[in-house]
Structure 1
Amino acid sequence: MTSQIILNAVEDVPTDSRVCHYDELGEDAKEEFPTLTESTDASVDRSVVDELQECDLVKYTNYYEVSIS
């Protein structure tokens, strides 16, 4: 099963956000993350979804808000 992940660059980081840093992600998530920052319709495997749903934001080149559907 695949899920869609949408990343939105954000300027402000709420203090209660769960922030994950790119270098702390697992290999599958690291591999997919750069593509996800550029695509609005990418689907990913469950392992990537499971990892990214632990984060409200991911710090990469910017802070990205993570939405999963």
Structure 2
Amino acid sequence: MAGSSTSDAYTRHLRVRHTDSVPADARVRHVDELSDDAQQRLFSVVGGDATGARLDGATAGEFDDGDVVVFTGYYEVDLA
């Protein structure tokens, strides 16, 4: 999210999609590396919230488009 302002981050939504492959250039993180707040937002999306989870400024900084988070599988991050 380089170049975004904090106010832009408030309008971001976390979405993820399950993936079986990880791009060679993707940043891969284990769910335990995320803050408690970021984990809760990820869990809500993985648990079926199709609209995504709203991110505040601090939490938005923990995710970038294309990141892969390892949880019960591999989940590619899409920030909308």
Q: TM-score, normalised by structure 1?
A: 0.83
What RMSD in Å do the two structures reach over aligned CA positions? 1.7
Give ranges in structure 1 of 5+ residues lacking alignment: none
Q: Secondary structure at the match of 1:36?
A: helix
Deviation at 1:40, TM superposition (A): 1.8
Q: Which structure carries more relative contact order (alpha carbon 8 Å, separation 6+)?
A: 1
* Paired residue total: 69
> Is 1:66 paired with 2:77?
yes
Of structures 1 and 2, the larger Rg is shown by 2
Unpaired segments ≥5 residues, structure 2: 1-9
Letter in 2 for 1:67: D
The separation in 2 between residues aligned to 1:54 and 1:39, in whole angstroms, is: 18
TM-score scaled by length of structure 2: 0.74
- Higher normalized strand content (fraction of residues): 1
